[in-house]
Amino acid sequence: MTEAKLEALLQESRAFPPTAEFAAQANAQPSIYTEAAADPLAWWHKQAERLTWHTEPTSTLEWDLPNAKWFGDGMINASVNCVDRHVAAGRGDKVAYHWVSDIEGESRTITYAQLLDMVCKAANAFTQLGVKQGDRVAVYLPMIPETVVTMLALARLGAIHSVVFAGFSADALSSRILDSDCRFVVTADGAMRRGTPSPLKPAVDEALQSCPNVQSVVVVKRTGGDVNWVEGRDNWWDDLMAPQSTEHTPEYFPSEQTLLIMYTSGTTAKPKGIFHTTGGYLTHCITTYHYIFDLKVDTDVLWTAADIGWITGHSYIVYGPLAAGATQVMYEGLPDSGGRDRWWKIIAQYGVSKLYTAPTTIRTLMKWGDDLPAGHDLSSLKLLGTVGEPINPEAWMWYRKNVGHDNCPIVDTWWQTETGGIMATPLPGITATKPGAAMTPFPGISLDVVDNEGQSVGNGEGGYLVATAPWPGMTRGIYGDPERFFATYWARFPGMYFAGDGAKRDDDGDLWLLGRIDDVMNISGHRLSTTEVEHALVGHPMVAEAAVVGASDDTTGQAIVAFVTLKLSAEEASKDQAPLIEELRQHVSHTISPIAKPRQIILTPDLPKTRSGKIMRRLLRDVAEHRTLGDVTTLTDPTVVNMIAGLLETEGAED
């Protein structure tokens, strides 16, 4: 679509009001906003009644900035809320997951009753291994049902899961295990990727060389490949589960029992162990799931196409949907495992009614052509969602037309690992939608856009996105680092949570997210810090200095561009550097993850620095995005940046 055509489209249809049919049947009614705004705490307390409490909470919020306690005197078990209570209510035969393998034709259907049996067995098995309340357990698993079973079994015991995305390297895994002192690891022999096994266990073995406190490893057999085995430490999942009983009596824990740790990139090289507790987090997940996905629990088949290794998977594949008793599709593979129309086949086969995914995937599917979705029956779809990065209007319009057939509301949901659940979104049936806008805070959530002084900006203006009141799903902190927690989120604007995102209000007062304002990049919806990648690069023996920026990219939203100076003799410097560039890319991939592999590495004799020695990333971003350079007068040597721009034109190898 040309710019002019797109502009015309946006002009003609700036906002899409809900259809009368959708509005008439929607879960939420317009009064939800006024009711929640009139007394947010009372409203959230009412939402907490969606859960089954062992002891009902009498308190709603105890708030001593930045420390929150939600439903503090309530007692609850997350696993009971996700499985037992549905079985007890006679819904044991309802499907919890249609698990769809990477390999076409392979699938598993798991009912709530079956899930309960699996969770109870796993809880018994983990107890036998010595897992106790408060223990941290690293989970390094692909998208298989055992991942969910592991999380729920640990939650059932009051143990804390720290799920590490299976695409992360051994180094990344070991640093996360060490940071929260995990004593157990649950993994698999490997993952399936487009029909080919991709080993996981070797990364665990490598990681554990520097993690002496890990006492047991549990290994799910997924690919059937050979694995290295450490007797006395390693246990096959099936061997452990086989003798266990399907009965397990749950204990109940305080609402503020830590449920999970999820590492996410900040602005330094060290990822932050964001932790969430139980009652507030579950309340946030189940309530947002109910309203935003307009959940019709008896008929819906929902598909959150994300990985459980990220917060989206935690909140909207595991805790929100299961607490609500929903039926989902859980897909193991890549969008093109078995062919580029795999997604459309899955939607048609299972009658998926609600689809939730990231803009980067939408852009990829869009590139593969309109005829692929057109070739399948997608008429079961009723609602579409996006998350993880700003969605460009072109992708939004494509999604609406080619996937939703102009008939499905699109919920563009803004939130973060730290927020636990969705914070800003249209509400289907109530809010109009605009291509690229998150529109409005969820009921009971207070967001604002403020200027440098923390003053609310007017309509038509931009600034920093903040939350002005606590909310149930908010992180309770950075594991083991309360000072960093305060400094990162609560110090910039007194009394407000600083999200790190830029945002603007349009002339109607609706909210548009503009991307990160710090050194955090967003690559295909994955968060990575520039310093983390720089750290990996300077860890290579040939690298003297590195500066990394996120440059805009048509498919991945942002892509990593690295500017590197080398430690080279004159003779080495005269050689063809293409093999070294490739080696550096592989080095980053191995040190962090393939998602961190720079799109482009520019070798340069120097980096642009201010007189105080700070690398001018802003200028490098301009260079990487081929923009006219901004103010260069503060540089020690203004010619450096022009030289780099020249190198980028001539040398930059892209793929």
What phi and psi values does residue 567 have, to the nearest 5 degrees?
A: -95, 95
Distances (CA, A) of 248 to 78, 79, 114, 124, 195: 14, 11, 14, 7, 36
Part of the chain binding ligand PRX (CB under 6 A), chosen from 3-11, 250-258, 426-434, 494-502: 494-502
| C-alpha span between 443 and 290 (Å, rounded) | 12
* Least spacing, CB of residue 652 vs ligand PRX, in Å: 26
Q: Which residues contact 475 (CB under 8 A, 6 or more apart)?
A: 274, 275, 276, 417, 418, 419, 420, 485
Is the CB of 290 or the CB of 516 nearer to ligand PRX?
A: 516
| C-alpha span between 436 and 452 (Å, rounded) | 25
Of 169, 216, 223, 264, the residue at the interface with ligand PRX (CB under 6 A) is 264
Binding of ligand PRX at residue 285 (CB under 6 A)? no
Q: Is 52 helix (H, G, I), strand (E, B) or coil?
A: coil
Is the CB of 153 or the CB of 511 nearer to ligand PRX?
A: 511
DSSP 8-state assignment for residue 3: H
* Least spacing, CB of residue 513 vs ligand PRX, in Å: 3
Binding letters toward ligand PRX, positions 390-429, x by CB under 6 A: x---------------------xxxxxx------------
Binding of ligand PRX at residue 500 (CB under 6 A)? yes
Structure tokens at 280: 């507030």
Binding of ligand PRX at residue 593 (CB under 6 A)? no
Distance of CA 235 to the CA centre of its chain: 30
Q: Cα dihedral sign for 563, 565, 566, 570? A: positive
Distance of CA 54 to the CA centre of its chain: 30
* Least spacing, CB of residue 306 vs ligand PRX, in Å: 8
Is the CB of 87 or the CB of 548 nearer to ligand PRX?
A: 548
* Least spacing, CB of residue 136 vs ligand PRX, in Å: 20
Part of the chain binding ligand PRX (CB under 6 A), chosen from 2-10, 192-200, 399-407, 510-518: 510-518
Q: Where are the beta strands (DSSP E) in 215-297?
A: 216-220, 234-236, 253-254, 258-264, 272-277
| C-alpha span between 582 and 600 (Å, rounded) | 10
Of 36, 148, 387, 466, the residue at the interface with ligand PRX (CB under 6 A) is 387
Is the CB of 156 or the CB of 621 nearer to ligand PRX?
A: 621
Binding of ligand PRX at residue 388 (CB under 6 A)? yes
* Least spacing, CB of residue 503 vs ligand PRX, in Å: 9
Helix, strand, coil percent values for the chain (each to nearest 5): 35, 25, 45
Is the CB of 112 or the CB of 497 nearer to ligand PRX?
A: 497
Ordered strands of the 160-163 beta sheet: 234-236, 216-220, 184-188, 136-140, 160-163, 258-264, 272-277, 477-478
* CB neighbours of residue 598 within 10 Å: 23
Binding of ligand PRX at residue 267 (CB under 6 A)? no
Binding of ligand PRX at residue 532 (CB under 6 A)? no
Q: Do 187 and 168 touch, CB atoms closer than 8 A?
A: no
Q: What angle do CA 372, 378, 380 make, to 5 degrees?
A: 165
Binding of ligand PRX at residue 86 (CB under 6 A)? no
* Least spacing, CB of residue 500 vs ligand PRX, in Å: 6
Q: Which residues contact 263 (CB under 8 A, 6 or more apart)?
A: 162, 164, 176, 179, 271, 272, 273, 274
| C-alpha span between 114 and 97 (Å, rounded) | 10
Of 76, 115, 160, 513, the residue at the interface with ligand PRX (CB under 6 A) is 513
Of 432-491, which residues contact ligand PRX (CB under 6 A)?
438
What is the chain's length?
655
* CB neighbours of residue 66 within 10 Å: 18
Is the CB of 235 or the CB of 264 nearer to ligand PRX?
A: 264
Part of the chain binding ligand PRX (CB under 6 A), chosen from 447-455, 511-519, 567-575, 623-631: 511-519
Of 504, 527, 587, 617, the residue at the interface with ligand PRX (CB under 6 A) is 527
Of 148, 311, 466, 566, the residue at the interface with ligand PRX (CB under 6 A) is 311
Is the CB of 524 or the CB of 577 nearer to ligand PRX?
A: 524
Q: Do 256 and 69 touch, CB atoms closer than 8 A?
A: yes
Element (DSSP H or E) covering residue 203: helix 201-208
Of 114-143, which residues contact ligand PRX (CB under 6 A)?
none
Residues in binding contact with ligand PRX, number by CB under 6 A: 22
Of 79, 162, 327, 522, the residue at the interface with ligand PRX (CB under 6 A) is 522
Is the CB of 74 or the CB of 426 nearer to ligand PRX?
A: 426
613 — alpha (psi -120 to 50), left (phi > 0) or beta?
left
* Least spacing, CB of residue 391 vs ligand PRX, in Å: 7
* Least spacing, CB of residue 557 vs ligand PRX, in Å: 9
Task: Report the chain's terminal Cα–Cα distance, integer Å.
Answer: 23
Binding of ligand PRX at residue 312 (CB under 6 A)? yes
**Amino acid letter, residue 66:** P
Is the CB of 311 or the CB of 445 nearer to ligand PRX?
A: 311
Binding of ligand PRX at residue 519 (CB under 6 A)? no
Binding of ligand PRX at residue 361 (CB under 6 A)? no
Site residues for ligand PRX per CB under 6 A: 264, 311-312, 387-390, 412-417, 438, 499-501, 513, 515-516, 522, 527
